[in-house]
Chain A
Amino acid sequence: MIFSVFRGLDKILSFESAKAHCDIPCKIYDPIESQVAALTIVRLNDLLQELTAKGDGSPSDTAQFARLIAQKEEHGLKLKEAVRVIWGDYFKKPQIDAHPDVHQLVHQIMMVASKVKQNVDREASIELLHLVNKFAQIFWETKGVATFTAPCPYPPNLDVVYPDLKK
């Protein structure tokens, strides 16, 4: 009730805004961080499969296996954090109104990222990349920036949504 009164007055008098951000409002957001993490996870799955296929179980291979799993875990966390920050800090009412499905998409990314962390599952990691690309597409749409899809120029050479900044 009182809040509505203040909001009404705000519409008439345009009160000055004050910030109280928990993070520095640097306004630097880019989904590429999450896309690179997703690509890395696919690549790590490929390397894990190659190592498993080799199957000699030497100490060196065992150490390499542990390193690959640790990196997969780290990039899974990195991806989740990067998506959460954009969703939580950048997406506000206008962006959410334009893309009401973003909550569902982010939740799906969190779920699939967990699955990818828990398993050595290439299919799931590709699904994760697909979801993160979709998130990137929505992000760039909110910025009014056109996008294009092209294979990344390094392994695993999978399709990535990039902003077309020349337009």
Chain B
Amino acid sequence: MDPTIPSGSYVVYLSFNKMKLRVGGLYLFHHRSLGVMVKRMVRDLGAFYLFEGDHPLSISSCKIGEVHKKDILGQVLVSVSPGLVLPKIHREYL
């Protein structure tokens, strides 16, 4: 998720049953073939959601495919990256 969350970072995420999902937020979700991923939500299509990374070379949302609510593990609140003194708080879409 470069440049927002550099490789090797730790993320703290929030998860609860009636979590309100917002386009633009960073989420952890379980992908059927790629495993657990961190990506930004780009579309809310009602029945499912689309995600993509912040890097220009990130895989596109069509390659990630549709992600259903049941597969969303939570929203990223904080990331702690190597080399950074302070943690980064991702509160812009909370």
Contacts and interface: CB of A to CB of B under 8 A. Distances in A.
A45 B87 CA distance: 54
Interface string B34-72: 111111000000000000010101110001000000000
Interface residues of A, number: 17
Contacts, number: 51
A16 interface: yes
Contact of B10 (A10, A21, A24, A25): A10
A3 interface: yes
A3 B38 contact: no
A25 to B, nearest CB: 7
A24 B64 CA distance: 9
Contacts of B5: 20
A15 interface: yes
B1 A20 contact: yes
Interface in A95-139: none
Interface of A: 1-3, 6-7, 10, 15-25
Interface of B: 1-2, 5, 7, 10-11, 28, 34-39, 53, 55, 57-59, 63, 80-87
Given A10-B10, A16-B36, A20-B39, 11 more contacts: A3-B81, A3-B83, A3-B84, A6-B80, A17-B36, A18-B35, A20-B37, A20-B53, A22-B2, A22-B57, A24-B63
